Amino acid sequence: MTRLTRRYRFSASHRLHTAALSEDANRELYGKCNNPWGHGHNYLVEISVTGAVQRDSGQLVSVSALDDLVHGKVIRDFDHRDLNRDIPVFEDVVPTSENLAVEIRRRLSLEWPADFPKLAGVRLWETKRNIFELMNEEQQ
């Protein structure tokens, strides 16, 4: 089994708040993350692919092609943005790192080239201490 993992970074702000709960319940649930003005993180995303190494190139995938896809579909949109207000899906969905990982996988899956190896997983570091991992088999 060969699996290649590439790390990418973006910095963004967000606020955890759900319209389904009262102001007090939101404060109680999300704590500091419910701060009305928002706050930000240096996110780190690990994208893993798995499959057969190509005989000619000795590679699983062209890293520059993978970079183009991830930059184009994820990093460019998210970097130096406010997730709640700049990324349409987070108008209705709370931009927790769980939901962010699902959105990253959704964006990549939609545009995943047919000749790429399988997307094996998305791992999102919100901080050095909080890490969220989505395996490919998991349903949203």
Among 7, 76, 80, 85, the residue binding other proteins under the rule CB under 8 A is 7
- Active site members: 33, 80, 126
Among 20, 22, 32, 56, the residue binding other proteins under the rule CB under 8 A is 56
Task: Mark 58-77 with x for binding to other proteins (rule: CB under 8 A) and - for no binding.
Answer: xxx-xxx-------------
How many C-beta neighbours within 10 Å does residue 119 have? Answer: 17
Complex with other proteins: residue 16 or 70, whichever CB lies closer: 70
Q: Which stretch binds other proteins (CB under 8 A): 2-10, 32-40, 69-77, 90-98?
A: 2-10
Q: Does 42 bind other proteins (CB under 8 A)?
A: no
Angle between the 97-111 and 63-70 helix axes, to the nearest 10 degrees?
Answer: 120
Q: Does 2 bind other proteins (CB under 8 A)?
A: yes
Q: Does 57 bind other proteins (CB under 8 A)?
A: yes
Q: Does 43 bind other proteins (CB under 8 A)?
A: no
Q: Does 35 bind other proteins (CB under 8 A)?
A: no
DSSP readout, the chain?
-EEEEEEEEEEEEE----TTS-HHHHHHHHGGGG-TT-EEEEEEEEEEEEEPPPTTT--SS-HHHHHHHHIIIIIHHHTTEEHHHHSGGGGTS---HHHHHHHHHHHHHHH--TTSPEEEEEEEESSSS-EEEEETTS--
Binding site for other proteins (CB under 8 A): 1-8, 53, 56-60, 62-64
